[in-house]
Amino acid sequence: MAAAVSYYALFAIVPLLLLSVIISSWLYGNVYVVSSMDRWGSVLGTDMLLLLHTAVENLEVLAHGFVAPLLGVLFFSTMIIVFFNTFASGLHQIWGLPHHGFAGWVLKSYRSILFIGIFELYLICLLAVDWLVLNFIGSVPFLELFAFETVIFLGMTTILFSVAYKILPRTCPSLHSRIIGAFIASCLFLVAKWLVSAYIAFTPIPGLFGAAGLILALLIWVYVSTVIVYFGAAFAYVHNKGKLS
């Protein structure tokens, strides 16, 4: 299921990035939002950042027409929803929930739209923390600043994953189990971010395969991230069953 999520991510990540930039720019301004996301995306390397920049800019240019934006909004909105629906289907498989056909897909779509809004709120909060660090505590020693940012990231990501485990599937484990699973997933996500960054920096994939190599690197990152979040969900499920038995 993580492979299927990675496939749909190729179609969903650019419009989701554009949506995030547009919404966050209303509060913080476009320059600050783009520069902050560049820092966060540096884990994928400068070539990947350039590729995503170009894709987002091309999609934004299409928005100045009429027919293309109308069809594009419909297509990419559908792909974002399908992306989260596919992720939710993976949670259903992990937790042994039955498939409910088209009606279940419609309900998953509604929950996916709701979660997209929560995800945008998560990004807005991360940007607020980033702004606080840059403007008020930038003079703090590096190790203390690193520890502060790490704790904030782990806390906010734990909340995001726990909310995802609650909203996206039909039923879910208890709050306590979800928080434990989400915290484990957040810790693994942080470690994976460093490892993937090192992997991309020291392997010749982008150099050997050009743009295709960049897509491969993005697929690796999405796949690893998805597996980690699913692992947290599985841990939450097992922990909840242990409590009930």
Question: What ranges do the domains of the chain cover?
Answer: 2-244
In degrees, to the nearest 5, what angle opens at C-alpha 109 toward C-alphas 106 and 110? 90
Backbone angles phi, psi at 29, to 5 degrees: 95, 145
Helical residues (DSSP H) of the chain, grouped into ranges = 2-28, 30-40, 46-62, 67-94, 101-135, 142-167, 175-202, 205-209, 211-244
For residue 172, the model assigns a pLDDT of 86
- Residues contacting 59, CB < 8 A, separation 6+: 14, 15, 18, 72, 76
pLDDT tens per residue across span 196-208: 777 766 765 555 5
Q: pLDDT above 70 covers what percent of the chain?
A: 76
Entry pTM: 0.84
Of the candidates 153, 95, 165, 147, the one whose C-alpha atom is nearest the C-alpha of residue 127 is 153
How much is the pLDDT for 178? 94
**What's the CA gap between 88 and 75, in Å, rounded?**
20
Position 66 scores a pLDDT of 47
Beta-carbon contacts of residue 98 (< 8 Å; ≥ 6 apart): 92
Cβ count near 180 (within 10 Å)? 19
**How much is the average pLDDT of 170-176?**
88
Residue 124 corresponds to which tokens in the numbers above?
A: 């807005």
Whether 177 contacts 237, CB under 8 Å: yes
In a 3-state reduction of DSSP, which class is residue 18?
Answer: helix
Nearest C-alpha neighbor of 229 from the set 42, 86, 71, 128: 86
Low-confidence winner among 29-38, 47-56, 112-121 (lowest mean pLDDT): 47-56
